[in-house]
């Protein structure tokens, strides 16, 4: 897919105030600092469409971006940052869970996982929560440039094995780097296919 235009639409903390349109949309979710905002910039080829930072907790609201005037990309705050509660409900900011529960045009959540780390309970729990709520998702392993190819392959294998302890099959997944555009075409192609299915339904 060719990105012809990308524009910021609105930020808010209330799903009821998200854009009142039926355009298909895709949300980027994951731990703070995993690279959600950077990936949005990489996909749209815009240096600072979404605000990024080396310090966790940069994105604090639900941010909608309109792409090609046809679909939305949604940048969400990270989970697992400065949250002390053990309760999963409190761990994921309430408005994030409300967003996923109510936003029917959200066709796929991209759950970002830092490719350098072992499977983390908070990510596994979040994907389980998505599954229990019937919310479609894919995995994106980020920051692939920070690993040597062998280590990257090994970490993804470890992740697959962990997922297969819980899931019948490994969800669709992508490997990306926001510094060298790895995975860009694949993710955009996936979105394009879902957009086309959405239009023909």
Nearest approach, Cβ of residue 60 and Mg ion (Å) = 9
What residues numbered 42-71 form the site for Mg ion, per CB under 5 A?
58-59
- Judged by CB under 5 A, does residue 38 bind Mg ion? no
- Judged by CB under 5 A, does residue 32 bind Mg ion? no
Nearest approach, Cβ of residue 67 and ligand GTP (Å) = 17
- Which of 58/143 has CB closer to Mg ion? 58
Could you tell which of ligand GTP, Mg ion, none binds residue 177, using a CB distance below 5 to 8 A set by kind? ligand GTP
Reference 176, options 164, 188, 193; nearest CA is: 188
Residues of 54-66 as b/e, b for ≥16 C-beta within 10 angstroms?
eeeebbeebbbbb
- Which of 69/90 has CB closer to ligand GTP? 90
- Which of 106/144 has CB closer to ligand GTP? 144
Contact 105, 197 (CB under 8 A): no
Report the residue from 6, 33, 37, 97 that binds Mg ion according to the rule CB under 5 A. Answer: 37
- Which of 30/183 has CB closer to Mg ion? 30
Q: Which residues bind ligand GTP (CB under 6 A)?
A: 32-38, 52-54, 56-59, 77-78, 142-143, 145-146, 177-179
**CA separation for the pair 74, 23 (Å, rounded):** 12
Nearest approach, Cβ of residue 11 and ligand GTP (Å) = 12
Reference 125, options 85, 65, 75; nearest CA is: 85
Nearest approach, Cβ of residue 42 and ligand GTP (Å) = 7
Write the DSSP string, 80-144.
SSS-----HHHHS-HHHHHHHHH-TTEEEEEEEEETTS---HHHHHHHHHHHHTT--EEEEEE-G
Reduce the DSSP state of residue 31 to 3 states and report it: strand
- Measure Cα distances from 91 to 82, 84, 86, 116, 164 in Å: 9, 7, 7, 23, 24
With CB atoms as reference, the residue minimizing the distance to Mg ion is 59
Nearest approach, Cβ of residue 145 and ligand GTP (Å) = 5
State how far Cα 73 lies from the chain centre. 9
Residue ranges in contact with Mg ion by CB under 5 A: 36-37, 58-59
């Amino acid at each position: 897919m060719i990105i012809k235009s990308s524009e910021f639409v609105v930020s808010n903390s209330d799903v009821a105030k998200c854009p009142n349109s039926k355009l298909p949309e895709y949300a980027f979710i994951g731990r703070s600092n995993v690279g959600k905002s950077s990936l949005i910039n990489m996909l749209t080829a815009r240096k600072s469409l979404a605000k990024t930072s080396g310090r966790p907790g940069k994105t604090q609201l639900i941010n909608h971006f309109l792409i090609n005037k046809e679909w939305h990309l949604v940048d969400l705050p990270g989970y697992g940052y400065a949250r002390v509660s053990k309760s999963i409900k409190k761990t994921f900011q309430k408005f994030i869970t409300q967003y996923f529960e109510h936003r029917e045009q959200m066709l796929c959540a991209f759950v970002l996982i830092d490719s350098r780390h072992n499977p983390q309970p908070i990510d596994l729990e979040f994907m389980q929560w998505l599954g229990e709520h019937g919310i479609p998702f894919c995995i994106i392993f980020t920051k692939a440039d920070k690993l040597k190819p062998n280590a990257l392959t090994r970490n993804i294998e470890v992740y697959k094995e962990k997922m297969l302890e819980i899931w019948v099959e490994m969800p669709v997944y992508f490997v990306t780097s926001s510094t060298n555009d790895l995975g860009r075409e694949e993710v955009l192609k996936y979105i394009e296919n879902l957009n086309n299915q959405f239009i023909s339904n």
